[in-house]
Chain A
C-alpha cells in the first residue's frame, strides 16, 4: 500500500511545534498481543460456573397470528431448565430507541418475545434454557408453534399496508426542505430523473452476537458480558426494562469481533439473558449461530430513490427533489428513523445546492429489522447522488469530472452551513478543500492516462471502464465524552474512557494521543473501555466518533495530568513548571534535557492521599476531562475505480481502486489505511456480492455463508490509499475527523460509474448489488 501524507498540519494547541513523536506515527497496535496468541476474550469465550445456555426459538413464518406455543416436549427433556414464551415476558416493555426527533414510532418497537403476531422469519418466539448448547438446541427443536399465516408485505415502495388495526406500515415520512424547489424546476435548463435502488445487506461481523449475564446476589449486581458499542445507554435501558437501579447493572466489553453498526445495539436476546440470570439465579449464556445472525441481527441499506435534479445550462445544480422508500423491516429498533434521517439530510454531500426537498418514506415490511451499517445512509445516497451527477453530465454532454468541479463547494466557502439537519444537528461542513483533493486523486490515479489506456483496450474489444465518485462523510457525533487519565506509582498510566472498541484500534489511538500529550511511551498506557463500572457516563463507539470525541477528551485529560505533574515537580525542584518538560515518563529541565530528574511514578507517589503535600486537595496524579461538541466533523474523499467485465459471464474484475480521503489529521496512518482498506472490501461486497434476498412468502434466501456472499481474498483487489490532511477540523484540538466509514461510502457509486463506462452506456446501473446475471442482461441490451 502506498502511503501519501502531508505532515504540514499545525501543532495541536498546548504542545510545542515541530514533528510529533507519537501522533501521526504508524505504531504497532497495543491490541495485537492477545489476539495473535489466541488469548482474546470474545463473547463466546466468557464462561461462569453453573451457567445455563439459552437458545432462541424463532418464527418460521414472515407474518402471522401466533395462536399457541407447545413447549411440553422441550420441558420434559433432561437438562432443560426452563422454556419461556411471550406470556412469560409480557411485563417487559419492548426494545426502545435512542434519541430521535421523530415522534410516533413507539407502536413499532419490538417485544423481546413475540406475542399475538410474528412479523419476520427469525423473530424470537420462545427461549429455552438448558445445561449446554447441544441440549438447548435439541429442546428448541421440540418447541412447536401454531401460527395462522398472514400475507407478507415485502416491498417498501408498494402502497403501505396495515401494521396493526388503525396503524399503517408507513411509520413516518422524513421531510426536509429548503429553497424554492418548484421555482428551480420551472427555471431549469434540464431536468434529470432517476429511479435507483440499493439492495439489503449488512455488517455481518465474523463474530456473531453473544451475551452472558450473571446475577451476583452477594453484591446485588447484574452483570452483562459480551457487550459492544453502547454500554452506557444499554445499561440504562436494561435497568429500566427489568426494573433495577442503574447502579445495580453493569456491562462489560471484552474483545469484539467486528462491529460495523450491527454489534452492540440492544437486542431482545440481551434482555432475555439478563432476565434469565435474575429469574433462574444462574448465569445465562447465549451465543448466536450464523444462521440466526443472518436473520436476527440488524439488516441495512435497502432503499429505493425516485430522484430528480434541476440544472442550468452549465450543469450547475439548481434543485434536487428526492423521494425515497426506506425498507425498515418488521420493527423499529434502537436507531428509530436515524438511517432514513441521515439519508435525507446528507444526500447533497459535497455540492452547492440552492434548493432541496426530500420525502423519506420510512416503511415496515415483513423482513428482519434494519438499522445502521458502516456509512449508513451515505453508501446509499452517495450511490444515488453520484449516479445523478453522471446522468447530468451525460445529458449535457459534459465530462463527469468537470461537472463535479462546477458543483463542488469551494474552500473559501467553508465552513458551509446547509439549511438542513441530520442526526439532530445542523449540517455545517466544517472544513475542506474538495477541489484540491479531487485534483490529487486524479493525478495519483493518472486519470487522463487511464482514460487513454482504457480507450485503447476497448478498441481491441475489451470491456473495461473507469468511474469516479466524490463524497462527504460525517464523523465525531457529540455531544460529549469524558476520559480519566491516572498515573500510578510505577509510572504506568491508566486511561478510562466511556468509548468502546469494536476491533478498530481504539486503545492504540487513545494511547498515542495520551502519550503525545503526557510525554510517555504509549506502551505504558492501559486503556480501559466498554465498562460501566469504571466510568459513569459514555457514548460508546459508533458514527466514527471515538477519535474525535474520546480522542479530544483524552488529549485534554492528558494535558491536565501533564500540568499537574510539572507543577508538583516544580515545587519539589524549586523551579517553575515552564522550565520543565516530560520525556519518556521522566521530568527534565528544558535547558538540560540529558539529566532526567524524577519519574512520573515518583510524582504520583508524592500525590497520594497520605502525602502532606496533598492535604486539603484531591489526591492523585489523575484528571478527568470532558469534551463537548455541537456539530459533527465532515471528512471527505473520492473513490476511483477501474474494472473489467467478462462479456460472456458478466463477471466484474476490479483492476484498480483508489480511495483518497481527507481526515484532517491521522493519529496512526497505518490504522487509517486499515480502516479504509477494510471499509472498501465491505463496500465492494455491497456493490457486487452481498444481498439478503427473500422469496415471495418472505422466506429469507441468504441464511448461510454459502448464500450470503462475503468477498474472500480472491475477490478483493489491493486498494490504493491517499490520506490527506489538508483540512484539519476546527472543531477539536487535534484537528481530527473520523476515518472509519470513508472506505465504504462511495464504493457502490464508483463501481456503478465504472460499469457504465465499460458498457459505454451512461445510466446503465440502477441497482446494487450488480450480480453477474444482471450484468449479462445489461451486456445483452447494450449489444442490441
Chain B
C-alpha cells in the first residue's frame, strides 16, 4: 500500500508449498529471508550482484536471482527453493538423480541454483539440445565441473521427465 513508507513489513510468502509469515525489514533480500529468517540455507550466495546464479529460486515458477529481489517483493508469491525439489516422500527429482549419476556436481555450491534454473528450463523446453542447455544455464557459474557433466545430466533428466526410455 502506498503510505509514508515502511522500514519493516509483515509478509506472507508461500515457500515450497507452505505459507511462511514473518516480519521482514524492507531492505532484507529474498535470499537472506530464505537463509536467515526461514533457515532454508540451501539457497547459496556466490556474488550478491546477479552474475553467478547460485541464489536462483523459482518465483511463481520462474527462475530468478534471489539476491536481486527484496523479501517484501515476494509477499503473496510462491517461491520454490532447492529444498522443495524432491518429492514429498523424499525421492529425488529426476534432475537431482541425474546430477548424481553423471557427477554433475563436485563442491555442490552452485548446484541449487543450477537445479532450480533447470527445473524451469525443462518445463519450457522438454527436449533440449546440448547447445540449448548451455545457453539456458550460462547464467550459472560452476567452478568445479567444467560443465559438460551437467549438460549430460540435463539431457538424461529431460528424457526421464518426458517419460521416454527408462533411466538407468
| B23, CB-defined interface residue at 8 Å | no
Q: How far is the CB of A657 from chain B (nearest CB, A)?
A: 10
Residues of A close to B66: CB separation below 8 A: none
| A718, CB-defined interface residue at 8 Å | yes
| B56, CB-defined interface residue at 8 Å | no
8 A Cβ contacts from B113-127 to A: 115
| B46, CB-defined interface residue at 8 Å | yes
Number of A-B contacts (CB under 8 A): 176
Residues of B close to A710: CB separation below 8 A: 141, 143
Interface size on B, residues (CB 8 A): 57
Contact between B25 and A207 (Cβ–Cβ < 8 Å)?
no
**Among the interface residues B83, B138, B144, which one has the most CB atoms of the partner chain A within 10 A?**
B144
Contact between B141 and A504 (Cβ–Cβ < 8 Å)?
no
| A60, CB-defined interface residue at 8 Å | no
**Among the interface residues A28, A35, A289, A503, which one has the most CB atoms of the partner chain B within 10 A?**
A35
Contact between A705 and B111 (Cβ–Cβ < 8 Å)?
no
Contact between A257 and B42 (Cβ–Cβ < 8 Å)?
no
8 A Cβ contacts from A732-784 to B: 743
**Among the interface residues B49, B101, B106, which one has the most CB atoms of the partner chain A within 10 A?**
B106
Contact between A38 and B83 (Cβ–Cβ < 8 Å)?
yes
> Knowing A42-B44, A681-B146, A713-B138 touch, does A706 contact B52 (C-beta < 8 A)?
no
| A180, CB-defined interface residue at 8 Å | no
Residues of A close to B142: CB separation below 8 A: 206, 713
0/1 interface trace, chain B 81-124, chain A, CB 8 Å (1 if under) = 11101100000100010011101011111111001000000000
Contact between A1 and B108 (Cβ–Cβ < 8 Å)?
no
> Knowing A255-B108, A503-B108 touch, does A36 contact B96 (C-beta < 8 A)?
yes
> Knowing A37-B83, A42-B44 touch, does A206 contact B141 (C-beta < 8 A)?
yes
Interface stretch, picked from A548-556, A577-585, A671-679, is: A671-679
Contact between B47 and A290 (Cβ–Cβ < 8 Å)?
yes
Contact between B103 and A674 (Cβ–Cβ < 8 Å)?
yes
Contact between A29 and B82 (Cβ–Cβ < 8 Å)?
no
Residues of B close to A400: CB separation below 8 A: none
| A712, CB-defined interface residue at 8 Å | yes
> Knowing A1-B148, A257-B109 touch, does A44 contact B140 (C-beta < 8 A)?
no
B99, B107, B145: the one contacting A205 at CB < 8 Å is: B107
Specify the chain B residue showing the minimal Cβ separation from A705. B51
Contact between A678 and B100 (Cβ–Cβ < 8 Å)?
no
Contact between A206 and B107 (Cβ–Cβ < 8 Å)?
yes
Q: How far is the CB of A188 from chain B (nearest CB, A)?
A: 41
Residues of B close to A206: CB separation below 8 A: 44, 46, 52, 54, 107, 109-110, 141-144
| A31, CB-defined interface residue at 8 Å | yes
B41, B99, B106, B115: the one contacting A504 at CB < 8 Å is: B106
| A459, CB-defined interface residue at 8 Å | no
**Among the interface residues A33, A35, A38, A682, which one has the most CB atoms of the partner chain B within 10 A?**
A38
| B128, CB-defined interface residue at 8 Å | no
Q: How far is the CB of A387 from chain B (nearest CB, A)?
A: 24
Specify the chain B residue showing the minimal Cβ separation from A40. B108
Q: How far is the CB of B15 from chain A (nearest CB, A)?
A: 12
Q: How far is the CA of A505 from the CA of B149 in the complex (A)?
A: 15
0/1 interface trace, chain B 49-89, chain A, CB 8 Å (1 if under) = 10110100000000000000000000000000111011000
| B137, CB-defined interface residue at 8 Å | yes
Contact between A207 and B146 (Cβ–Cβ < 8 Å)?
no
Contact between B148 and A290 (Cβ–Cβ < 8 Å)?
no
| A410, CB-defined interface residue at 8 Å | no
0/1 interface trace, chain A 26-62, chain B, CB 8 Å (1 if under) = 0011011101111111101100000000000000000
Contact between A1 and B149 (Cβ–Cβ < 8 Å)?
yes
| A432, CB-defined interface residue at 8 Å | no
Q: How far is the CA of A36 from the CA of B142 in the complex (A)?
A: 14
Q: How far is the CB of A158 from chain B (nearest CB, A)?
A: 33
Q: How far is the CB of B88 from chain A (nearest CB, A)?
A: 13
Q: How far is the CA of A505 from the CA of B104 in the complex (A)?
A: 12
A28, A36, A259, A716: the one contacting B111 at CB < 8 Å is: A36
**Per DSSP, are chain B's interface residues mostly helix, strand or loop, or mixed?**
loop
B54, B146, B149: the one contacting A680 at CB < 8 Å is: B146
Q: How far is the CB of B117 from chain A (nearest CB, A)?
A: 11
Residues of B close to A35: CB separation below 8 A: 105, 107-108, 111
A1, A290, A714: the one contacting B134 at CB < 8 Å is: A714
Contact between B105 and A289 (Cβ–Cβ < 8 Å)?
no
| A81, CB-defined interface residue at 8 Å | no
8 A Cβ contacts from A454-484 to B: none
| B155, CB-defined interface residue at 8 Å | no
Residues of B close to A45: CB separation below 8 A: 35, 41
Contact between A29 and B103 (Cβ–Cβ < 8 Å)?
yes
Residues of B close to A281: CB separation below 8 A: none
Contact between A28 and B100 (Cβ–Cβ < 8 Å)?
yes
0/1 interface trace, chain B 145-160, chain A, CB 8 Å (1 if under) = 1111111100000000
Q: How far is the CA of A207 from the CA of B134 in the complex (A)?
A: 22
**Among the interface residues A257, A290, A677, A681, which one has the most CB atoms of the partner chain B within 10 A?**
A257
Interface size on A, residues (CB 8 A): 57
Contact between A38 and B138 (Cβ–Cβ < 8 Å)?
no
Specify the chain A residue showing the minimal Cβ separation from B83. A38
Q: How far is the CA of A352 from the CA of B82 in the complex (A)?
A: 53
A29, A38, A503, A704: the one contacting B40 at CB < 8 Å is: A38
> Knowing A31-B108, A255-B107, A673-B103 touch, does A290 contact B49 (C-beta < 8 A)?
yes
Specify the chain A residue showing the minimal Cβ separation from B86. A37
Contact between B103 and A671 (Cβ–Cβ < 8 Å)?
yes
| A670, CB-defined interface residue at 8 Å | yes
Q: How far is the CA of A504 from the CA of B146 in the complex (A)?
A: 13
0/1 interface trace, chain A 425-439, chain B, CB 8 Å (1 if under) = 000000000000000
Specify the chain A residue showing the minimal Cβ separation from B131. A714
Specify the chain B residue showing the minimal Cβ separation from A263. B107
| A134, CB-defined interface residue at 8 Å | yes
A44, A134, A257: the one contacting B27 at CB < 8 Å is: A134
Q: How far is the CA of A385 from the CA of B99 in the complex (A)?
A: 38
Specify the chain B residue showing the minimal Cβ separation from A716. B147
B52, B82, B134, B145: the one contacting A38 at CB < 8 Å is: B82
Q: How far is the CB of B94 from chain A (nearest CB, A)?
A: 12
Specify the chain A residue showing the minimal Cβ separation from B43. A38
Q: How far is the CB of A138 from chain B (nearest CB, A)?
A: 10
Residues of B close to A718: CB separation below 8 A: 148, 151
Q: How far is the CA of A321 from the CA of B153 in the complex (A)?
A: 48
| A64, CB-defined interface residue at 8 Å | no
Contact between B46 and A290 (Cβ–Cβ < 8 Å)?
yes
Residues of A close to B137: CB separation below 8 A: 713
A32, A44, A134: the one contacting B41 at CB < 8 Å is: A44
Contact between B42 and A38 (Cβ–Cβ < 8 Å)?
yes
Residues of A close to B141: CB separation below 8 A: 206, 705, 710, 712
| A566, CB-defined interface residue at 8 Å | no
Residues of B close to A255: CB separation below 8 A: 107-109
Contact between A36 and B105 (Cβ–Cβ < 8 Å)?
yes
Specify the chain A residue showing the minimal Cβ separation from B95. A36
Residues of A close to B152: CB separation below 8 A: 1
Contact between B100 and A32 (Cβ–Cβ < 8 Å)?
yes
> Knowing A38-B40, A38-B42, A713-B137 touch, does A704 contact B143 (C-beta < 8 A)?
no
B27, B48, B135: the one contacting A290 at CB < 8 Å is: B48
Residues of B close to A208: CB separation below 8 A: 46
Residues of A close to B96: CB separation below 8 A: 36-37
A206-B107, A258-B143, A713-B150 known; 6 new pairs, CB 8 Å cut-off, are: A29-B100, A35-B108, A36-B105, A44-B41, A258-B109, A678-B144
**A-side interface residues toward B, CB under 8 Å?**
1, 28-29, 31-33, 35-42, 44-45, 133-134, 203-208, 255-260, 289-290, 502-505, 670-671, 673-674, 677-682, 704-706, 710, 712-714, 716, 718-719, 743
Instruction: Report the 5 A-B pairs with minimum CB-CB distance, sorted nearest first.
Output: A38-B42, A503-B107, A35-B108, A257-B109, A677-B146
**B-side interface residues toward A, CB under 8 Å?**
25, 27-28, 32, 35, 40-49, 51-52, 54, 81-83, 85-86, 92, 96, 99-101, 103, 105-112, 115, 133-135, 137-152
Name 5 interchain pairs, CB-CB below 8 A, sorted by A. A28-B101, A31-B108, A37-B42, A40-B108, A678-B145
